[in-house]
Amino acid sequence: MSLVEALTEAILPVLSVALVGFVLGTVREIDVDPLSTVTIYVLTPALVFYSLATSEFGAAVAIQLSVGVVAFTIGTLLLAEAVGRVTGRTEPTLGAFVLTSSFPNAGNYGIPLAAFAFGDVGRSTAVLFVAVQAVLMYTAGVYVASRGSAASTRGAVASVFKLPLVYAVLIAGLFRLADAVPTEGTAAMETIRLTGDAAIPVMLLLLGIQLANTTYGTAIRRVLSACGMKLFVAPALAVGIALALGIEGDVGRVFVLACAMPSAVTPLMLTIEFGEDRPTGLSGPEFVSTAVLVSTLASVVTLTLLIAVLQSGVVI
């Protein structure tokens, strides 16, 4: 199987499910709020809990990689915030710009791609990356998405602790420390796994439904800078962080690959759930959904080149 074939197999399932949502949103009027709520409060916590509880990483590697994910996320959030303000963006598109520039689609796109390129190490690294990023997305990401509509900064921060994902990660960590994680294949773990597996298709359906209601002519032009940051600036920053922290070998290469993924789908749900209800001009969800589409299509080229460089061992 060629590299191009592998990329196509990783991308096509994502685009196919989103296309179903797009068609559905075109022929029917769909209220996305209930779907978004169920995904945020039920499906995603189950996905991250299962991934974190069943990870086979040792403590040292897990801590090193986690520090890298935190450093990358903080770096991209600050950089995107600065670029957004300098270019005159205001809420809600400022928050959408920051979210789409900072959070990569390391889950449903990144995990299968990392597994093809780097085998079992790639899969395990991508899963841990997703688990750590999820905590940041549902804390810092929720703050960015909600600050334009929250009554105060304190109110926006407080909304973070109403989300179950933060507690799901803590519980998974406690279970691992106590060596009390239920055995895989048991009724409890199968229930959690099946619930978590539903998160990815539902997120993609939400993406497609929102794309059906996006005005592309204006939106595409306005998301190009966010896509450029995500596909070109982000991997360069990730290389610097990996070298600085000593994240080496295939773990370091997968870390860079995960950081270089196109814009994540989850910020779409965050802007729907926590963003302004009646924004003027381009809405946050429209900005995010268009950035996801454009960056995903463009990533076919950028990720092909990046994987070739990473596999050669020239960079890390």
- Residues above pLDDT 90, as percent of the chain: 42
Number of domains in the chain: 1
Q: What's the CATH number where 142 sits?
A: 1.20.1530.20
The answer to whether 309 and 315 have CB atoms below 8 angstroms apart is yes
The average confidence (pLDDT) of the chain is: 87
Residue 214: which domain range? Answer: 3-312
- Residues above pLDDT 70, as percent of the chain: 91
Average pLDDT over residues 31-56: 88
Average pLDDT over residues 125-144: 89
- What local confidence, expressed as pLDDT, does residue 221 receive? 84
pLDDT at residue 230 greater than cutoff 50:
yes
pTM, two decimal places: 0.84
- What local confidence, expressed as pLDDT, does residue 66 receive? 94
Highest mean pLDDT among 9-18, 170-179, 222-231, 279-288: 222-231
Q: What is the pLDDT of residues 169-220, one digit of tens each?
A: 889 989 988 989 999 899 999 999 999 999 989 988 988 888 887 766 667 8
